[in-house]
């Protein structure tokens, strides 16, 4: 099999994963990245606050495919997950709180403080959700059929594989899956539990990066086991950039060329043969000199947002198929109400209800500031009414409690993932008027230990990462934008309607989260097409 010239647009983790699979198969791979660093949202910031390192955007790891970690021996390049036990803490205004983790006996004892009935039901709930999460996780590495009707033997093969997977569920599991994905999540959890704090804790996983309560998003967050157990999220030693650094090092060892500060302008194709020709980009050669770069390519893989692919890279291509897809991609829901705040702290945050000066198990968890179900629903309703929530949902992590490489001795970094705000919110005002007062209710010394802050609104996330609307999943994860509808039905199998052009970003199946599945799946389809002589 002759070696192919392959250009990958975007050096996020999916682009790096695709490059690894393709270079490992002997092809000549080049990555073009518009920023001065690879990794996209999986990035460790070491410069904003000297001496402190923090995961600027994504902040925990659970979904990264073990296949990728093991196949490319990423641990050799510094990939190390730090499991958290316990893993979550939901504090209450009265100083009490609910702590959960991978130890079921401890979970049951914790829940029993609020409800004996729920303590009995919780193991059954976890078992049922775990079965569905394991079943769903297998779908992450499936290639969806393109539709709406099968057009190729590949689509028939994908449909047959999906059918075989579906029948692995017994009738009870099918019923539970349908209830979880298709019904109101509030009603679903009400059918299991009576304790408000437990239900509030579980609801937080349904809204990460979403603008509606979603049973699928809940499943999405219990699919992975990179954190040490299924559904448990771990910290990365060195920050989330350690994932990208490990992938980039493995790429370099396999001869992948990585060009940073290189902004792709367009993808050129041969309109007669309807196949890709080259990628044209603008490269920052020196601080004062830019040059245009044209790379001939047999294969081009766009690992960025589908909107960018069709509205920018293929903007000059007007065929019925491309125009139709461009319109469908533009209609996708890419709204977002999420924001990220990173804090540098000169000391350990003191959680109300604990003794000051001690590292408590709560410190190593994700601290959910969303004490009741109504609190969550009120925050969501404010967003739907066009307001940024006056009582935001905050997921607080202090990874330096587990990882001493992130801050000077005795000092810490804090990450805050929050919801829900409007796209054009004033970040500084929202911090001063809403977020900081909310933190004061739970951390009694936050004002005394604060060294510096970084506030990232949806607009900031869009500007820095090219995530349209600030949507961290490259498009909403609602039921109508999943599997064979991601990003649209006709290109769900990662193939654009130009021979040799593929998509591999989070806008494709299985969606967002640092898992690498989109890059892996697209690469395997490309290799299959090369072996079959279709490229």
129 or 406, which is more confident: 406
523 or 94, which is more confident: 523
Q: For residue 426, what are the contacts with CB-CB under 8 A and spacing of at least 6? A: none
Mean pLDDT of 207-222: 76
**DSSP code string of 175-241:** HHHHHHHHS-HHHHHHTT---HHHHHHHHGGGSTT-SS--HHHHHHTTS--TTSSTT--BEETT-TH
> And the tokens for 514?
């640092």
For position 217, what pLDDT does the model report? 76
Residue 157 has pLDDT above 90, yes or no: no
The alpha carbon of 485 is separated from its chain's Cα centroid by a whole number of angstroms, namely 18
Q: How confident is the model at residue 133 (pLDDT cuts 50, 70, 90)?
A: confident
Q: Which of 66-70, 161-165, 471-475 has the lowest mean pLDDT?
A: 161-165
For position 103, what pLDDT does the model report? 93
| Sign of the torsion angle spanned by Cα atoms 482, 486, 491, 492 | negative
For position 1, what pLDDT does the model report? 67
| Helix (H) or strand (E) segment spanning residue 54 | strand 54-55
pLDDT in tens, 32-55: 999 999 999 999 999 999 999 999
Q: How confident is the model at residue 229 (pLDDT cuts 50, 70, 90)?
A: low
pLDDT in tens, 280-317: 999 998 888 999 999 999 999 999 999 999 999 999 99
Burial track 490-502 (b if 16+ CB lie within 10 A, e otherwise): bbbbbbbbbbbbb
Place of tokens 């319109």: 327
For position 231, what pLDDT does the model report? 63
Mean pLDDT of 119-135: 92
> And the tokens for 407?
């801050």
Q: Which whole-number Å values give the CA distances from 121 to 109, 298, 503, in the listed order?
A: 12, 56, 43
Q: Rounded to an integer, what distance in angstroms lies between the CA atom of residue 349 and that of residue 358?
A: 10
For position 62, what pLDDT does the model report? 82
Contact yes or no for 4/27 (Cβ under 8 A): yes
Mean pLDDT of 386-396: 97
Residue 183 has pLDDT above 90, yes or no: no
CA nearest 369: which of 442, 437, 440?
A: 442
Contact yes or no for 112/198 (Cβ under 8 A): no
Q: Rounded to an integer, what distance in angstroms lies between the CA atom of residue 307 and that of residue 330?
A: 7
Mean residue pLDDT of the chain comes to 93
For position 153, what pLDDT does the model report? 78
Q: For residue 216, what are the contacts with CB-CB under 8 A and spacing of at least 6? A: 180, 181, 477, 478, 479, 482
Q: How confident is the model at residue 213 (pLDDT cuts 50, 70, 90)?
A: confident
Q: Rounded to an integer, what distance in angstroms lies between the CA atom of residue 273 and that of residue 500?
A: 11
Q: How confident is the model at residue 365 (pLDDT cuts 50, 70, 90)?
A: very high
* DSSP-assigned beta bridge partners for residue 127: none
Q: Rounded to an integer, what distance in angstroms lies between the CA atom of residue 418 and that of residue 204?
A: 11
As a whole-number percent, the residues of the chain with pLDDT over 90 amount to: 80
As a whole-number percent, the residues of the chain with pLDDT over 70 amount to: 97
Q: How confident is the model at residue 205 (pLDDT cuts 50, 70, 90)?
A: confident
Burial track 377-386 (b if 16+ CB lie within 10 A, e otherwise): eebbebbeee
């Amino acid at each position: 099999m002759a070696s192919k010239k392959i250009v990958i647009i975007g050096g996020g983790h999916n682009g790096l994963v695709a490059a690894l699979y393709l270079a490992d198969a002997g092809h000549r791979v080049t990555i073009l990245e518009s920023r001065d660093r690879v990794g996209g949202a999986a990035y460790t910031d070491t410069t904003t606050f000297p001496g402190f390192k923090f995961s600027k955007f994504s902040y925990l790891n659970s979904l990264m495919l073990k296949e990728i970690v093991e196949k490319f021996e990423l641990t050799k390049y510094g990939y190390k997950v730090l499991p958290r036990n316990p893993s979550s803490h939901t504090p209450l205004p009265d100083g009490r709180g609910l702590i959960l983790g991978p130890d079921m006996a401890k979970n049951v004892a914790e829940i029993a403080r609020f409800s004996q009935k729920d303590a009995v039901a919780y193991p059954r709930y976890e078992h049922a959700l775990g079965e569905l999460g394991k079943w769903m996780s297998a779908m992450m590495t499936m290639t969806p059929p393109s539709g709406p009707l099968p057009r190729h033997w590949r689509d028939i093969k994908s449909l047959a594989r999906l059918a075989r997977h579906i029948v692995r569920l017994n009738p009870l599991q099918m019923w539970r899956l349908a209830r979880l994905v298709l019904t109101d999540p509030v009603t679903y959890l009400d059918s299991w539990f009576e304790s408000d704090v437990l239900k509030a804790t579980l609801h937080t996983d349904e809204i990460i990066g979403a603008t509606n309560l979603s049973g699928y998003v809940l499943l999405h967050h219990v699919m992975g086991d990179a954190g040490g157990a299924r559904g448990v999220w771990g910290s990365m030693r060195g920050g989330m950039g350690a994932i990208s650094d490990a992938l980039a090092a493995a790429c370099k060892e396999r001869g992948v060329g990585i060009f940073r500060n290189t902004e792709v302008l367009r993808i050129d194709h041969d309109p007669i043969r309807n196949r890709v020709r080259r990628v044209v980009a603008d490269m920052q050669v020196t601080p004062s000199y830019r040059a245009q770069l044209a790379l001939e390519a047999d294969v081009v893989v766009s690992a960025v947002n589908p909107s960018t692919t069709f509205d920018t890279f293929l903007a000059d291509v007007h065929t019925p198929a491309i125009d139709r897809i461009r319109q469908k991609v533009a209609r996708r829901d890419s709204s977002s109400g999420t924001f990220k705040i990173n804090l540098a702290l000169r000391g350990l945050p003191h959680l109300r209800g604990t003794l000051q000066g001690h590292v408590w198990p709560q410190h190593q968890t994700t601290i959910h500031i969303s004490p009741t179900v109504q609190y969550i629903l009120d925050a969501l309703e404010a967003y739907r009414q066009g307001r940024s929530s006056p009582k935001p949902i905050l997921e607080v992590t202090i990874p330096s409690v587990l990882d001493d490489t992130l801050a000077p001795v005795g000092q810490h970094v804090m990450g805050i993932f929050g919801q829900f705000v409007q796209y054009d919110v004033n970040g500084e005002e929202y911090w001063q008027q809403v977020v900081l007062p909310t933190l004061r209710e739970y951390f009694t010394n936050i004002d005394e230990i604060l060294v510096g802050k970084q506030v990232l609104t949806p607009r900031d996330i869009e500007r820095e990462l090219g995530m349209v609307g600030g949507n961290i999943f490259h498009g909403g994860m609602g039921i109508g934008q999943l599997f064979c509808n991601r990003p649209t039905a006709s290109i769900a199998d990662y193939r654009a309607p130009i021979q040799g052009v593929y998509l591999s970003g989070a806008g494709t199946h299985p969606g967002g989260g640092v898992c690498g599945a989109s890059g892996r799946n697209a690469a395997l389809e490309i290799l299959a097409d090369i072996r079959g002589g279709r490229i």
